Structure 1
């Protein structure tokens, strides 16, 4: 990011600039009073407080960007916004303040994702504006960043998220490291502190990268790839500018950079496994820099300011600083196999995705053997992605909720028992083969269940790119076991004897003697009503070996 201003924005950013001007002119600055703060602790609801919090961050990011884009901007409104953010009781979210207890610190010194991001926003804004900003405001910002973020980060005691090995490592360490780069280094003492903080951030980045296999797959899904890997890249490029060290110069990092393109379904849709979404936004600046460094596809769409409901400065500022229009240099592969992640994705006129893995992944769903069928721009056999984040969603009753539970995935229920969570609940890959005409993907799902008498459960996928999937579950059991095959969609299926139809987009034929359709209304990640249809095909797996075949045809 430039020290004083962004480069002249290309014409493709016109709509984003319009969003920034409108948000900067908005005088709404919701209060974060005690009644809002206590809501999470009293009810477990996160979204009511967080909507207020992120509306404040929208105004902060927009006014900071406007000030750097247009030197003639009156900085009075921005100064008021900076002052107001410094007044906040804590920069962390109520759901995260427990992370400060390991250092015996209060909520105001909780260094979570959003405290780190806030420090990054404030630090780069103050540093870039320099003498343009009232000294009293700048001094207060520096003091609050120091007290709330730099003090806990320079404490020798481990922070609660150190060791997570997921997006927290990259975001917290990356945003804090960039804040330090912006504010420190003006004196010998500052230089020493900066070096120590950068070392801590490097160690966090090592742990973050260790969370990936060599295939570069992100078990948390594309949304969290954007979040964690985005901040990894932003920090890496800031570090390279400061020291010449290049954290991106790695074969593994190159594989991670390609991840979203390998799990794309087409038309802006992506495999939404785990707590992901089918249509995540991808920051245009991030994609531009990755295209320059690794030859991955550049940004095709410049997102709106409001596509990131958290209004993160890292994404916005690097889009303003880095985005350049480009054209893809290579043709994307039709089939992607990520062996460490155990995902298979095929894209073309029709798209198919299936997954193995284990049931203790980051943002885990109990979904071994789950699959997606995508046609005409829609995922008909669907993955529900993330549900509404509440206290319970990340608590011991997580799998009582539809989105992460096996009941919300197209996987078998055996003798009334669903898949169980745990790292030992693993899908063993028996076969992956793609001969250009047929994709074969076989998984041993036996360990996902705890059913007396179940000796083995093998799920076999046979996918033809012209739009045909044959799914066969081979079961070996010591006794007769009731078997329910679940198929999940947000479209209502119409069942008939031996068949089902989803609006003429996908049809199913099967040999189960009974079928039923149930509707469950829940809430999606943004707390909007989410209607989910579950087609249940019921039969019996007799003692011994049996095969249960389901054929899907896409149009």
Structure 2
């Protein structure tokens, strides 16, 4: 897409604004920002900055950096690291709104502390160039590496420079000179002259890119447009970004589905939109890709996987609960692309957060998280605009089929007695942020969870290593996938769904797939065809398992992950889910027996997914028939 554009439209003929004329936001010396942002939102931002007055810029000692290699812990270092950056961002917002110099000294201390860091690359990413950790403190010297958060750090410092260069220079010109020097060495030079980081894939097109690509480009582009004075280098940055972003676009099918899940959509498709917005700003509108059909669908994916409340379809490394911090991004994407349904969804999310509490929650929720400084600045500057809109309509949930990634989100009719949403997937077991979960499914009733996905555990050294699938939440045994003689699915491109079929008519939705190829040969599976049948007008889901086994008799179990303790009603029925939105699991007790166990959740990330309040339970349906070829069915009924 972008490479084709460049072939037809040489950048020499396209406007790229100079450093002095790049102007995406009003500065405080041009206009009082409360007039732009609104008094109530300005007040909240200033209060958040006041919270950071006299901030203690926590030390980042070498031994803390070394913990990732020593014991696999990445969280302690990253907590300190992100608190520094979010404190600086809060102080920046407070100062540009108040414009009295009250926060300047703390901003100087924050800038200086961050510039003094030996590396902006977090320890968990410090192996990427060499594929192994040769030394717990090894840092590239000649050409620094750019990871996600080195790029974010540079962009944050660039925005400090953009808004506050004048006030900072009046205190000491060394502050902005230090920003220029550090960012040039750590980001601008490597970005322009490294051929080619793994996340770029400009010349080496054999690798696979993921959210790193647009996430880093969006931050590097902001940094270039604010700090780089040389027009040839500015044009080169734009060209490299477009060629590399094309590689990211290639990982998406025409259906726009994000295989990394909706929480990483924020850093994948959402970061792509950030990059496109920056390119649009920096080219005076010349670089405008918002009407491309694929980009429209990449945005629409997000509201198509919404389940109700704060719940989203959480396949891959995605939590089930996602906050409303991206409401403005969604609104802007829908506006840019001319998608009124997406635009309304963003506006509705903003209003559901009760406007002012949106910013309060954003500050609390993101204090230990990546900054996304450009996006959060856009949200701040758009706040008054969004608050002026009349009440938005809640989203209308419709069935969505993503054929390229083999994901379905199937819904009962709008006026059915109860609202059921089934989400199920095929695909393959080498997706980005993969879980071994071919054939798994979720089931929600009236926006409440009944059958769920556990979600991701806290990232550590195991998470992206050869031991990834030793973590229970990544294994098919702890998804809603058959277990054959305690043998789970395997990871790899070849372990995939076959004969995937989606059908919809006026009365029902059917999704079927053969998942036998997702298991190793030792499982001796010839066929395992799983079929989901959702009635549009009746609140009922039927799941049918057809299996053909090779060799000896197998021990066959069908796990179901649910919240709240199950309740046995009869020999062939069990109540699942929360009392106010439960469903009855029905099965033939002559063919299936049932047991369940409570899952122990000691991992903080799993506890924070939204399941902690109810507890997670693993229901096991065991097939009692001894034939090597068979069929069993079970239903979920309101």
Tell me the equivalent position of 2:335. Answer: 292
Measured at CA, do residues 410 and 233 of structure 1 come closer, stay the same or move farther in structure 2, by a change above 3 Å?
A: same
- With 87-96 and 431-440 compared, the bigger mean Cα shift is at 431-440
- Paired residue for 1:157, among 185, 195, 210? 195
State the SS of the aligned residue for 1:49: helix
Measured at CA, do residues 19 and 225 of structure 1 come closer, stay the same or move farther in structure 2, by a change above 3 Å?
A: farther
Tell me the equivalent position of 1:489. Answer: 562
Tell me the equivalent position of 1:477. Answer: 549
- With 509-518 and 482-491 compared, the bigger mean Cα shift is at 509-518
- Paired residue for 2:370, among 310, 315, 322? 310
Deviations 1:143-180 (A, max 9, x none): 11111111221224311322342110001122111100
State the SS of the aligned residue for 2:291: coil
CA contact under 8 A between 2:46 and 2:93: conserved in structure 1?
Answer: no
CA contact under 8 A between 1:90 and 1:110: conserved in structure 2?
Answer: no
Tell me the equivalent position of 1:71. Answer: 99
Q: What's the RMSD between the two structures over aligned residues?
A: 2.5
- 1:527 and 1:552 map into 2 onto residues whose CA distance is 26
CA contact under 8 A between 2:155 and 2:373: conserved in structure 1?
Answer: yes
CA contact under 8 A between 1:445 and 1:458: conserved in structure 2?
Answer: yes
- Paired residue for 1:51, among 73, 79, 88? 79
Measured at CA, do residues 82 and 408 of structure 1 come closer, stay the same or move farther in structure 2, by a change above 3 Å?
A: same
State the SS of the aligned residue for 2:600: strand
- 1:525 and 1:251 map into 2 onto residues whose CA distance is 39
Measured at CA, do residues 37 and 412 of structure 1 come closer, stay the same or move farther in structure 2, by a change above 3 Å?
A: same
In the TM superposition, residue 83 of structure 1 has moved relative to its aligned partner by: 0.9
Tell me the equivalent position of 1:32. Answer: 60
In the TM superposition, residue 438 of structure 1 has moved relative to its aligned partner by: 1.5
In the TM superposition, residue 543 of structure 1 has moved relative to its aligned partner by: 4.0
- 1:14 and 1:334 map into 2 onto residues whose CA distance is 38
State the SS of the aligned residue for 1:514: strand
- Paired residue for 1:387, among 457, 481, 500? 457
- 1:70 and 1:238 map into 2 onto residues whose CA distance is 26
Task: Count how many residue pairs are aligned between Structure 1 and Structure 2.
Answer: 550
1:137-536 → structure 2 map (5 Å cutoff): 137-163=175-201, 164-185=208-229, 190-243=230-283, 244-281=286-323, 282-294=325-337, 295=339, 296=342, 297=344, 298-299=346-347, 300-301=349-350, 302=358, 304-308=362-366, 309-323=369-383, 324-325=385-386, 326=389, 328=392, 332-347=396-411, 349-450=419-520, 451=522, 453-465=524-536, 466-479=538-551, 480-495=553-568, 497-502=571-576, 503-504=578-579, 505-511=582-588, 512-524=591-603, 526=605, 528=607, 532-536=616-620
Measured at CA, do residues 97 and 107 of structure 1 come closer, stay the same or move farther in structure 2, by a change above 3 Å?
A: farther
TM-score, reference length from structure 2: 0.81
- With 491-500 and 351-360 compared, the bigger mean Cα shift is at 491-500
CA contact under 8 A between 2:531 and 2:543: conserved in structure 1?
Answer: yes
Deviations 1:293-333 (A, max 9, x none): 12223332235223333233133112113343245589635
Structure 2 portions without partners, runs of 5+: 1-23, 132-137, 202-207, 351-357
- 2:470 and 2:312 map into 1 onto residues whose CA distance is 26
- 1:410 and 1:31 map into 2 onto residues whose CA distance is 44
* Structure 1 moving runs of 4+ over 6 Å: none
Measured at CA, do residues 532 and 81 of structure 1 come closer, stay the same or move farther in structure 2, by a change above 3 Å?
A: same
CA contact under 8 A between 2:557 and 2:621: conserved in structure 1?
Answer: yes
State the SS of the aligned residue for 1:276: coil
CA contact under 8 A between 2:37 and 2:382: conserved in structure 1?
Answer: no
Measured at CA, do residues 166 and 132 of structure 1 come closer, stay the same or move farther in structure 2, by a change above 3 Å?
A: same
Structure 1 portions without partners, runs of 5+: none
- With 362-371 and 4-13 compared, the bigger mean Cα shift is at 4-13
- 1:514 and 1:173 map into 2 onto residues whose CA distance is 53
Deviations 1:348-397 (A, max 9, x none): 63322111111110000111111111125431211112111001011111
- 1:15 and 1:67 map into 2 onto residues whose CA distance is 12
Measured at CA, do residues 100 and 419 of structure 1 come closer, stay the same or move farther in structure 2, by a change above 3 Å?
A: closer
In the TM superposition, residue 9 of structure 1 has moved relative to its aligned partner by: 1.6
